[in-house]
Amino acid sequence: MARSGTSLVRTWQHWRRGRDLSVPARSTTVEDADRRFLLYGVLPLWVVPAVADWWMHKKTRIEHTSGVKESAVHALMMTEAGVPVAMGLLAKINPLVLSAMGGAAVAHGATALYDVSLATAEREVRPLEQHIHSFLEVLPLSAMAFTACLHADEVRATLRGGPGPRDWALLPKDRPLPAKYLAGLAAVICAGVVLPYAEEFSRCLRARRSAPVS
């Protein structure tokens, strides 16, 4: 156990060996403004439509309609969004990370289409819920677009096939994001995404187990 803890500490130190990135609150440069909006706007606000969508599922009693199947699709979409977000927050932005973001965005869009087709066949999907879905679909693209604008040189390298020896390696950021920011964002995501959808999946499982056998 102690050895495992030491290994985790060393890994954390390796990924945070650079000086923390500073995002000046009053800077009016385009780069700082874009980074502030991405970190303190797009990413945390993503939780708002996620909670709203969970509430709509709850109101339409998802556990008694599309149930576990649709809830599992929601978990898949969260994974498709969460993995590239984690990479962008923790790793150096390079062709590998940008390609992962692009691939995940395509996969997320395809899964979202399947999710809606599954849901509409099993339960009522109200106009408000459909509108909420539009935010959930566009925010990953917005995050990717802001990231691309902040790292235009890496976008160019990606379009050229990533010829550099470090272009396709998962590397620590030269200037990591502050640990307090990462902890705060993780808490927001856990409270607004992980816990509600874990509750939904658990509720769907309980409903399936208690359903009468036909």
Write out pLDDT tens, residues 152-168.
999 999 999 988 888 99
Residues forming beta bridges with residue 91, ordered by sequence position = 172
* Statement: residue 151 has pLDDT above 60: yes
**Phi-psi label, residue 75: left if phi above 0, alpha if psi -120 to 50, beta otherwise:** alpha
H helix and E strand count, the chain: 10, 0
Q: Between 53 and 211, where is the model more confident?
A: 53
Give the residue carrying structure tokens 């945390």: 44
- The mean pLDDT value for 191-202 works out to 97
Alpha helices by DSSP H, listed for 16-94, are: 30-37, 43-45, 47-59, 67-90
Q: CA-to-CA distance for 10 and 119, rounded, in angstroms?
A: 45
What is the value of pTM for the model shown? 0.89
Q: What is the CA radius of gyration of the chain?
A: 20
Give the residue carrying structure tokens 């965005």: 105
Model pLDDT, residue 2? 61
- Sort 94 into a burial class: Cβ within 10 Å, 0-12 / 13-18 / 19+: buried
The answer to whether the Cα torsion of 164, 167, 172, 174 is positive or negative is: positive
Question: How does pLDDT run across 83-121, given as a tens digit for each residue?
Answer: 999 999 999 999 999 999 999 999 999 999 999 999 999
Model pLDDT, residue 37? 95
**CA nearest to 81, candidates 199, 200, 197:** 197
- The mean pLDDT value for 2-10 works out to 69
- The mean pLDDT value for 139-147 works out to 93
Model pLDDT, residue 95? 97
Average confidence score pLDDT of the chain? 92
